[in-house]
Structure 1
């Protein structure tokens, strides 16, 4: 399989990004939630919200584009998790790859961009949160040297999940 093209997201991607964010979250976690909780959470992925973040220089979004559709994305932004960063830090806010592209090297290529972008921005640490039962993602992050440093209550509608907070010293 030929890997999709990786590129920075642009304003014209907003509708596709919003749809991809809803699709990837639902594909990965939708089975865990009551429909009303999932629907409430997915309201966070509106085109309007994506447009605001893409226009904000504090955020950086990389997409994987097949030419026909977006199939993966990574979003970096200022730390938002409830913890005190140790120094100059950035957060991997979202990192999703559609299931047909798992195991193709696409996630690795996206993570290479995440690390390079975080370092270029002067971050000393990169933080993220990952669902405690998402063992595939945890193993992926551990291969890069991320370590658990705390926990986080992740709200999906009226449902609360436990996430691990992970940090990578850059």
Structure 2
């Protein structure tokens, strides 16, 4: 499975930078109001590039011809990975509802899986809300299997399903 996915027209993926944190944090609060990471956590994560890697997906922002506003990119998804060999952990993955079904979550997940392989991981782990079947289906399509349940993991009492993807040694890059 290739780590790269062709994104829809007008969409692009790149590494997250410090400048992206305010927009990503705003999305985090919108998408995960109960469990949103504090702003500082994104700064802390980006400050550890030896073990962390974060990506954003952008689309061209709509603009008004009347206002003469130039087109700018708008972040509509983001994802992060922590890798401390031999385990990689998906820290977060999110796509705004207006862009669900466009393959952006798939692109982000494949990027994280590729990064895990490049960093020498043998397994990729993640937690997903038990009440999020759409995300669970995405992970299953990419080979993840449920290995455990963390009862009442989320602040609102919802269980977390722990899922694992075993990375085959032959798929790992040679050093």
Which TM-score tier does this pair reach, normalised by the shorter chain? 0.7 to 0.9
Larger Rg computed on CA atoms: 2
Q: Any conservation in 1 of the 2:154–2:160 contact (CA below 8 Å)?
A: no
C-alpha distance in structure 1 between counterparts of 2:110 and 2:137, whole Å: 16
Per-residue Cα deviation, 1:90-117 (whole angstroms, up to 9, x for no partner): 1001111001111111112112211110
Query: Is the 1:3–1:104 contact (alpha carbons within 8 Å) kept by the matching residues of 2?
Result: no
1:60 is the counterpart of 2:15: no
2:17 to 3, 10, 13: 10
Q: Displacement of 1:155 after TM fit?
A: 3.0
**Counterpart in the other structure of 1:49:** 41
**Structure 2, unaligned runs of 5 or more:** 1-7, 60-71, 168-175
Runs of at least 5 residues in structure 1 that lack an aligned partner in the other structure: 27-37, 80-86
Higher deviation after alignment, 91-100 or 65-74:
65-74
Counterpart CA distance in 2 for 1:109 and 1:78 is 19
- The DSSP-based 3-state class of the residue aligned with 1:160 is coil
Contact 2:76 2:95 (C-alpha < 8 Å) held by counterparts: yes
1:107 aligned partner: 105
- Which one of the candidate residues 149, 158, 163 is aligned to 2:147? 149
Q: Between the two structures, name the one with larger relative contact order (CA 8 Å, sep ≥ 6).
A: 1
Q: How does 1:29-40 map to 2 (within 5 A)?
A: 38=34
For 1:138, the equivalent position in structure 2 comes to 136
2:27 is the alignment partner of 1:20: yes
How many Å apart are 1:151 and its aligned residue? 1.1
Structure 1 or 2: more helix by fraction: 1
Number of positions where the alignment pairs a residue of Structure 1 with one of Structure 2:
146
Pairing 1:125–2:118 present: no
1:78 is displaced (CA, Å) by 4.5
In the alignment, what sits opposite 2:159?
A: 162
The 1:148–1:11 alpha-carbon spacing in structure 2 relative to 1, beyond 3 Å, is same
Deviations 1:103-145 (A, max 9, x none): 1111121122111101000000000011112111111110111
Q: Name the structure 2 match of 1:84.
A: none
Matched residue of 1:22: which SS? helix
* Distance (whole Å) between structure 2 residues aligned to residue 145 and residue 106 of structure 1: 18
